[in-house]
């Protein structure tokens, strides 16, 4: 009985090993994972580029506003014309 039980155990383990994924299936799964990784990296890079563009636009707006304010201050502080 022990020999029969041992033989059945070995046969069961062999069937689990034989049912594993083939090399083609493993390669296809790895290609899918690589594609997902590349897509994720592309999304992160696109988000970073969009954020950098947003920051640059904000800086340009602040600089333009500062230039306008400086111009207004210069006009306001300009020496008045000579009175006769």
Cα distance from N-terminal residue to C-terminal residue, the chain? 129
State how many domains the chain has: 1
Residue-wise burial string across 51-81, b where 16 or more C-beta atoms lie within 10 A, e elsewhere: eeeeeeeeeeeeeeeeeeeeeeeeeeeeeee
Q: Is residue 17 part of a domain?
A: no
Domain that holds residue 43: 24-72
Q: What pLDDT is recorded for position 83?
A: 57
Assigned token pair, 65: 């506003």
Give the per-residue pLDDT at 5.
Answer: 83
Task: Work out the average pLDDT over 12-22.
Answer: 76
pLDDT single digits (tens) 26-58: 999 999 999 999 999 999 999 999 999 999 999
Could you tell me if residue 11 is inside a domain?
Answer: no
| pLDDT at res. 35 | 96
pLDDT tens, position by position, 56-83: 999 999 999 999 999 998 888 888 766 5
């Amino acid at each position: 009985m022990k020999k029969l039980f041992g033989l059945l155990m070995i046969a069961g383990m062999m069937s689990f090993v034989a049912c594993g994924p083939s090399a083609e299936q493993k390669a296809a799964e790895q290609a899918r994972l690589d594609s997902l990784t590349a897509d994720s990296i592309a999304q992160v890079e696109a988000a970073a580029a969009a954020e950098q563009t947003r920051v640059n636009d904000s800086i340009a707006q602040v600089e333009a506003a500062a230039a306008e304010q400086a111009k207004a201050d210069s006009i306001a502080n300009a020496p008045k014309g000579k009175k006769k």
